[in-house]
Structure 1
Amino acid sequence: MIITTEATPASPPHAPGAGPAPGFRPELEGLRALAVLMVVVYHVWLDRVSGGVDIFLMISAFLLTLSFVRRVESGRPLDLGRHWLHRFKRLLPAAAVTILGTLGATWLLLPASRWTEIIDQAWASLLYVQNWLLASRSVDYYAAEHATSSPLQHFWSLSIQGQVFLLWPLVLAGGAWLASRSGLRYRSVLWVAFGAVFAGSLAFSVHSTATHQAFAYFDSRARLWEFAVGSLLALALPHLRLARSLRVALGWLGLAAMLACGLLVPVDRAFPGAVALWPILAAALVMVAGQTGSRAGADRVLSCAPLVRVGRLSYALYLVHWPILVIVLAVSGEDRPGFLVGLAIIAVSLAAAWLVTHGVESPLRRARWTEARRWRMALVVVACLAVVAVPLAGAQGVLQARAEAQQQATAADHPGATALREGYTGAPEGPAIPLATELRSQWVSLGTPCAGDYAPRADVLVAGCGQTAPLADPERLVVVVGDSHAEQWMGALVPVAEQEGWQLVSVLEGGCAFGSPDDPAQPEHCREWLDAALAYVLDLAPDAVFTMATAAAPDSPDERLVHGYAAVAAALTDAGIEVIGVRDNPRFTFDMYACVEDAGAEQCAVPLDQALAPVNPAADLGLDGFHAIDLTDRLCPEGTCQPVIGNVHVYLDHNHLTADYAATMAPDLRERLLASTGWRR
C-alpha cells in the first residue's frame, strides 16, 4: 500500500475564492483511512473485494507524479538513485517487521505442513514479487478460506506497488528527457505516456480478467492502468475550474460510490477488469472535490482528526491486519470470525499498526542521519532485507536438514501398502513420511513435454501433455488422461511401466475429470480441453488409456461414474484402445494430513461405508476392452479409511494421495492390472 507518513501535497489551484489554501491535505489522509478500513472490514466480516486496495494504488501514483512534476518544473535534479533509496527505506522497515512477526507466529501456531509455503511467500514478499508467485500458482484469492490462506498473501499489492515505484520514475524521468530534447511541454509528454499506459493496460486487464481472472488479479500488467489514472489525475487537476457547490456534490457522490463498491454489486470475479473503474473513479471524484471550505463538504468529514490519525496508520494497518486474521482463524478452525471476534481482530490490528508506525517507521523516517548520505539510506535498506533473509535462510536450512535425514531412512521403516500384503512381519519405526514440509513434492510429473511421435498435431491443441523418456521399442503405449486424481496414480503407475517396458504419456488438466464435456459440473475451461484430449488420444491410438472411472463425494458415500464416462470409454474401446478405469479414492470434508498433525492418526480414520459406495460403480460397465481396477482395500483396509498406513501418510490433503504412498501400491496395481488385461510378458 501507499506510504502514509509523507505529507500530502497541497491541492492544486481552483477558481479564485474556491480553491484550498496550499499546504497539508487532511482529506487525503481521511480518504486513505476509509480505504484501509474498507479493506479490513470486508476481509474480516464480508469476505468480499472492497476496492480499497485499488484506491491506494491510484493515490500512490497521484502523489508520486505530483512530486516528480514539481521537481522537474522547478528545475531541481531528479536523482533517481536517491529517490529509490528513500522510497524503499520508508517501505521496508514496517514490511520487515510484519514478515518477521508472521514467521514467528507461523512457527509457533501453524502446522508444519504450512511452513514451506509461507517461507516461500516470505521471500517473495520481501523481494516484491509476491504477486507473480501467486499468479504462477493461479491462486483463487476469493475462493480460499481465510483459515487456509497464506498470512502473507496480501503482500501481492505491495509487490505490484514496489514494481511501479521502480517503473514510474523511469517514465517520469524519460518524459523529462524527451521534453528537453524535443521542445515539447513536459506535461504534454506525460499525458501521452500515461494515456497510452492507461488504454493498453485497461484493455489487457479486461481481456485477461475474462479469460483467466485468478491470474489476472495478481498480474502487474493488468493493474498499471490504475496507477495511470492517478498520474493523469495529477496532471489534470490544475486545469479543473469547478464551482464550490459542484465540488461539494462531487465529493459526496464519490464518497458514497466508494463505500458502496463491492457492497451493492458482487464484483469479486470481475476484478481487476473495467469494474475496478468504480472505486478508482469514485476516489478520484473525492480528490477533485479537494478542500471545498464548505461546512457541507465531504472533505470536512474526511479531515476529522480520528480519520486523519487512522490514515497515518493505513500502511501499517494493511500490513498487520491480514496475518492476524488468518492466524486467528487457523488456530480457531473457523472459516470466518463472529462479530465480537472480528472487533477484537480489528482492535488488535489497530494497536499493532500504531506500534509498527510509531515504534519502527516514524523513528527511521525522522532520523535525519539516514537521509544525509546515500550509503546510510542503503544501509537501512540492506539491514531490513538482512533481518528477514537471515532467519528465513536459517529456517530453510533446518527444514532441509530434516528432509535429508528422513531420506536416509530405510524402506523397511516406511513400507506403506506393503504392510498390508500377506506375510508382512516388519515393525516400521520413526516418523511417518512424507514430512509436512515436503508435501509440495508429492505430485508426480512425467517431466518431459510431449515431443516427436507423441506431440499433439497442430489442429489438436491439448494442454498438459507430458511423457516419459522415449523408448525405442516399448511393450505398450499407455496414456494417462484426466484430472489430479488420475495424476496422483502415476506414483504407482510409473514403477509398473518401468518394470514392464511401457511408454507413458500423460494428458492432464486440474479439475477436469475425463468424461463428457457437457457435464454441467465440469468447469468451463474443461469443456474444450476434454474435446481436445479425446481427439489427441484417438489420433495417437495407444494400447490403453489409464483414467479415473468414478468420482467420490467428500461428505457421503454417493460415489458415481464420472459423468459421460461410459460414452467416452465406449468411443475408445470401439477404436481398439483398451481402457483402464481406476476407482476413485475416498474424499473428505477435512484435510487428512492436517488432522493427523493436530489430533493423531487414530482420531482421523473414517469408516469405508461413509466414504465410498458399497460396490464399485464401474465394476459392471459391460464394455469389451474395459478393465475396472479397484485398490480400495489398500486405502481402507478392514473397512476403515486410514490416514497413515505402514508409517506412510496416505493423503496429502482432503482428497489426494501422497506420491510416497502411491508408490508403495505399485506391486498391487501391477498384479491387478496384468491379471485384468492379460498383458503378461
Structure 2
Amino acid sequence: MPAVVDPAAVPAGTRSPERAGPAGRASRFSGFRPEVQGLRFVAVLLVVAYHVFLGRVSGGVDIFLLISAFFLTLSFVRKLEAGRPLALGRYWLHVFKRLLPLAVLTILATLVLVEVLYPAHDVGRWRAEALASVLYAENWALAVAQVDYYAADHSSASPFQHFWSLSVQGQVFLLWPLIFAGAGLVCRRFRWRPVPVLAVAFGVVFTVSLAFSVQQTAVRQEFAYFDTRTRLWEFALGSLLALAVPYLNPAKGLRVVLGWAGLVSMVAVGVVVDVQGAFPGWIALWPLCSAAAVIVAGSSGSRFGVDRVLASGPLVRLGDAAYALYLVHWPLLITYLVLRDRPMAGPRSGVAIVVVSLLLALLATRFVEQPLKRWAWPERSRRRLAAVVLACVGLVAVPVLAVQQAEARRIAEITAQADRNNPGAAALAPGFEYQGDPDAPVIPVLTGEHYPKPPLGSPCPAEIGLDERWQQWCFDTVPAEDPAATLLVVGNSHVHQWLPAVEHLAERNGWRVVTYIRGNCFYSTLDEQLFPDECARWLEGTGPAVDAVDPDLVLVQGTRSTDENEETFTPGTEQRIRDLAARGIQVIGVRDNPRFDFVPAHCAEEHGAQAPQCAATHAVLDPDSPLAPVAAELSRVSAVDMGDLVCPGGTCPPVIGNVWTYWDNNHLTAEYVGTLAPEFARRAEQALAADGAQDLLRR
C-alpha cells in the first residue's frame, strides 16, 4: 500500500531550533524520509513471504497502515501550521486518482484469470468481490461472509481477499481529513495550536478503537479482523507518531539501537509468536511499535545505523514498487494454488511466485503508476480528477454489473420453469414420470454468489417481552393473529435450513412460527458448543425465549452429525428436550442430515452428477436414531427423520429430481427442502398424532 501524500518529514538526525512564524512551524513536518520508503518495502516483503511460505500473519499490513497514516498526518499538519486551506475535495480526488489505476489493472487482470482458469462455481462470487474491491468495501464483504483469514488451505481463498486492507485504508483516507478539518475549526475558534488538538483527537481514537479491537477480537475474531473500527487505532498510532517525531531527538547511539532492534523485532513477530486468532487485538502493538522504533531512529548519522540499509538506493526503489507488489502477489499465489489444487505453495514454486511478483510490480510501477503520477491533465481541475476516478471505477463496475444482470435474468427464467423441470424429492415417489425439459439446468443455479439462507421474517415485536440482549436472534417467521398453536424453532443453521418445510407445516395447521436461531450454536449446554465464546449469550437467552414466546411446540435439532461419519445425541441436548417436555411443551426433534468432507455439487460439476465419488453414505442414515429411545419414552417428544429422502437407498446423490440436494458440505438447499415440505409435514403430523398431540393439528 502506498503513502498517498509526499513522504516528507524532518530527517530525525537534523533537528533545527523552532523558527518563528507559520512557515517555521510547518517546516518541522517536512523533509524526505528514505529509510521509511525502504521500511515500506520490508513490510510488504514480509506480507508476501508469510503469505507464500508460511500462511501466517506477519504484521506487515499493520505496518503499512501505520506508515500511511504517518505520511498523511505530516501532509495535513504542514497545511494547518502554515495556515493553508485543506481543500478536502481536491485531496480526496487526488488520492483516488493515484490509487485506482494500478488497483483497477490488477482487478481486471484477476477477473480474466478467474473467468478462464477458476472453477465455474466460484466465478460469480469473485465477480462480486471485484466490485467490492474497486469500491473500497472488500473488508466489509469478507466480514459479512465470515471469511477465515487464517484458513490453512489458501486454494479456496478469494483472489481479491488482499483488497481488504486497501479498503480499510481507502475508508480512512476519507475519514482522516474530516478530523483534520475539525481540528482546524477548533484551532481557529480558540486560537490553539494544531499539534496538541490533533494529539488529543487521535489519542481518543487510539484508546477507543484499541479497546474495541481487543474486545471484538476476543469474541468475534473473524469479523473483527476485517472491521474498519478495529483498525482505526493502528492509523491513530501512525498519526500520533507523526506528531511526536519532530520533537524527538535521541542520541546517535540510541538511534542505532532503536533502528536495529525495531527491524529485528518487526521481522521476528510472526515467527516467534503464533498470532493466529489474536489480530487485530493488542498483539498488533508488537509490529507497530517495532516499526515506530525504526521511524524514530530515522537518520542516525552512523555507518552502523539500520537507515544505511533501508535508505539505500535499491531498497528505496523497491519501496516505490511496494504498492504494486502487494497488489499482484496474492492473485498470482491463489491462481497457482487453484491450478495445482494445493493448500500452500512449495519452496521452489514459492520462490518463483515471489520473483514473478517482484518483476511484475517493478514493471507496473515503471510503466503504469509513475507515468500516471506525472500526468498533469487531471490535476488542472477537480472535474478532470473526478472524471479519471469515475472512469477507473467504471472499468470494473460496468462489465461486472452487466454480467451480474445477465446472470440474474437467466436464473429468473430457469426458476420460472422449476415446477415443470425441477421436481426434486417428488421424483422419488413411486410411479413418477418426468415431464419436463430433459436439458433443463439443475437448480439452484450455481453462480458462486453466497447462497441465501431461507428468510427469517420480521424481528420479534417488542411486546413479546424478550430482553434486548437476545432480541437480535428472535424473528416472527410466520405471523398469525389468532394461531391454533405457536411453534418455536430453536437452534442453528441445521434447523434454519428446514424453514421452508416448517412454514408449510405451520400453514397447514394454522400455527404461528417464531424462530430463535444462531449459526454454529447448539441447543444444549455451553461445554458442548464448538464456539462457546460466540454462543454463550445466545444460549443464555434460550430459556427467556421459551418463556417469552410460551410455545405449544418447540422444534429442535435432535441429533448431531459430523463429517467424520459420526452421529451423536449429546447429554446437553437430551436434557434440554426433557426439560421442555416436563413443562408440557411438545418437542419435534429433527434428525440431523449427513455432513461430508467435500461439496457434492462441486464434485458433480467436475466429475458429473452420476460419478460414484460424488455420492456418499453416512452413519446418520442408520435406521436406529439415537433420539428414538427418548422419543419412545416421552409422549411429549416427536421424532422426524428425513434421511431416506435426502439419501435414498442409503446413498446421498448430489442431484435428486434435477435439484441440488446440498449447497455446501452440510446444508440442504432451500429448493430441495421446499420439495420435501409435503412429506415433512405428513411425517411431523403423523408423529404428533401418534404421541397424542392431535389437538394441535387441523388435519
TM range (shorter): over 0.9
- Greater shift in the superposed pair: 429-438 or 539-548: 539-548
**Cα distance in 2 for residues equivalent to 1:66 and 1:5:** 9
SS of match in other structure, 2:475: strand
Q: Does 1:475 align with 2:490?
A: no
Structure 2 CA distance for partners of 1:412 and 1:250, relative to 1, 3 Å? same
Q: Deviations over 1:70-105 (max 9, x none)?
A: 233344433222222211110011111122122222
SS of match in other structure, 1:665: helix
Compute the TM-score of the two structures, normalised by the length of structure 2: 0.91
Whether contact under 8 Å (2:38, 2:319) holds in the other structure is yes
Could you tell me which residue of structure 2 aligns to residue 668 of structure 1? 679
Q: Deviations over 1:622-673 (max 9, x none)?
A: 3222112111111111221101000000000111000000111112112211
**Cα distance in 1 for residues equivalent to 2:321 and 2:593:** 50
Shift of 1:15: 5.8
**Cα distance in 1 for residues equivalent to 2:583 and 2:649:** 39
Match of 2:644 among 633, 652, 671: 633
Could you tell me which residue of structure 2 aligns to residue 447 of structure 1? 457
**Cα distance in 1 for residues equivalent to 2:668 and 2:676:** 11
SS of match in other structure, 1:590: coil
Structure 2 CA distance for partners of 1:186 and 1:608, relative to 1, 3 Å? closer
Could you tell me which residue of structure 1 aligns to residue 23 of structure 2? none
Whether contact under 8 Å (1:364, 1:370) holds in the other structure is no
Could you tell me which residue of structure 2 aligns to residue 584 of structure 1? 592
**Cα distance in 1 for residues equivalent to 2:34 and 2:365:** 18
Q: Does 1:146 align with 2:157?
A: no
SS of match in other structure, 1:467: strand
Q: Deviations over 1:474-515 (max 9, x none)?
A: 233211111101110112221222223221111101001222
Could you tell me which residue of structure 2 aligns to residue 623 of structure 1? 634
Shift of 1:13: 5.1
Q: Does 1:544 align with 2:540?
A: no
Match of 2:107 among 99, 109, 132: 99
**Cα distance in 2 for residues equivalent to 1:602 and 1:239:** 72
**Cα distance in 2 for residues equivalent to 1:211 and 1:654:** 26
Could you tell me which residue of structure 2 aligns to residue 59 of structure 1? 67
Q: Does 1:261 align with 2:269?
A: yes
Q: Does 1:677 align with 2:677?
A: no
Structure 2 CA distance for partners of 1:674 and 1:318, relative to 1, 3 Å? same
Q: Which amino acid aligns with 2:655?
A: V
Could you tell me which residue of structure 2 aligns to residue 27 of structure 1? 35
SS of match in other structure, 1:512: coil
Whether contact under 8 Å (1:547, 1:579) holds in the other structure is yes
**Cα distance in 1 for residues equivalent to 2:505 and 2:560:** 24
Identity of aligned residues (%): 47
Shift of 1:527: 3.4
Whether contact under 8 Å (1:482, 1:513) holds in the other structure is yes
Q: Does 1:518 align with 2:527?
A: yes
**Cα distance in 1 for residues equivalent to 2:576 and 2:79:** 68
**Cα distance in 1 for residues equivalent to 2:531 and 2:32:** 55
Structure 2 CA distance for partners of 1:4 and 1:13, relative to 1, 3 Å? same
Structure 2 CA distance for partners of 1:49 and 1:576, relative to 1, 3 Å? same
**Cα distance in 2 for residues equivalent to 1:459 and 1:58:** 38
- Greater shift in the superposed pair: 36-45 or 536-545: 536-545
**Cα distance in 1 for residues equivalent to 2:529 and 2:551:** 29
Shift of 1:256: 1.0
Aligned pair count reads 677
Structure 2 CA distance for partners of 1:51 and 1:330, relative to 1, 3 Å? same
**Cα distance in 2 for residues equivalent to 1:36 and 1:307:** 12
Structure 2 CA distance for partners of 1:516 and 1:78, relative to 1, 3 Å? closer
Whether contact under 8 Å (1:255, 1:283) holds in the other structure is yes
Q: Which amino acid aligns with 2:154?
A: H
Q: Does 1:393 align with 2:404?
A: no
Could you tell me which residue of structure 1 aligns to residue 190 of structure 2? 182
- Greater shift in the superposed pair: 28-37 or 328-337: 328-337
Matches within 5 A, 1:267-346: 267-346=275-354
Q: Does 1:461 align with 2:470?
A: yes
Shift of 1:48: 1.6
Could you tell me which residue of structure 2 aligns to residue 364 of structure 1? 372
**Cα distance in 1 for residues equivalent to 2:375 and 2:516:** 59
SS of match in other structure, 1:507: strand
Could you tell me which residue of structure 1 aligns to residue 11 of structure 2? 11
Whether contact under 8 Å (1:559, 1:613) holds in the other structure is no
Q: Deviations over 1:171-223 (max 9, x none)?
A: 22332343233222222222222222222222222233233222222222222
Q: Which amino acid aligns with 2:511?
A: W
Match of 2:654 among 611, 635, 643: 643
- Detail structure 1 runs of 4+ shifted over 4 Å in the superposition: 4-10, 609-614
Whether contact under 8 Å (1:62, 1:231) holds in the other structure is yes
SS of match in other structure, 2:610: helix
SS of match in other structure, 1:294: coil
Shift of 1:147: 2.0
Compute the TM-score of the two structures, normalised by the length of structure 1: 0.94
Structure 2 CA distance for partners of 1:658 and 1:371, relative to 1, 3 Å? same
- Greater shift in the superposed pair: 8-17 or 497-506: 8-17
* Structure 2: unaligned runs, 5 residues or longer: 18-27
Structure 2 CA distance for partners of 1:523 and 1:336, relative to 1, 3 Å? farther
Whether contact under 8 Å (1:442, 1:658) holds in the other structure is no
Match of 1:653 among 635, 640, 664: 664
Q: Which amino acid aligns with 1:161?
A: Q
Q: Does 1:498 align with 2:507?
A: yes
Q: Which amino acid aligns with 2:524?
A: G
SS of match in other structure, 1:269: coil
* Structure 1: unaligned runs, 5 residues or longer: none
**Cα distance in 2 for residues equivalent to 1:510 and 1:412:** 34
Structure 2 CA distance for partners of 1:505 and 1:16, relative to 1, 3 Å? closer
Shift of 1:374: 2.8
Q: Does 1:383 align with 2:391?
A: yes
Shift of 1:456: 4.3
**Cα distance in 1 for residues equivalent to 2:89 and 2:549:** 58
Whether contact under 8 Å (2:225, 2:279) holds in the other structure is yes
**Cα distance in 2 for residues equivalent to 1:596 and 1:98:** 32
**Cα distance in 2 for residues equivalent to 1:480 and 1:469:** 11
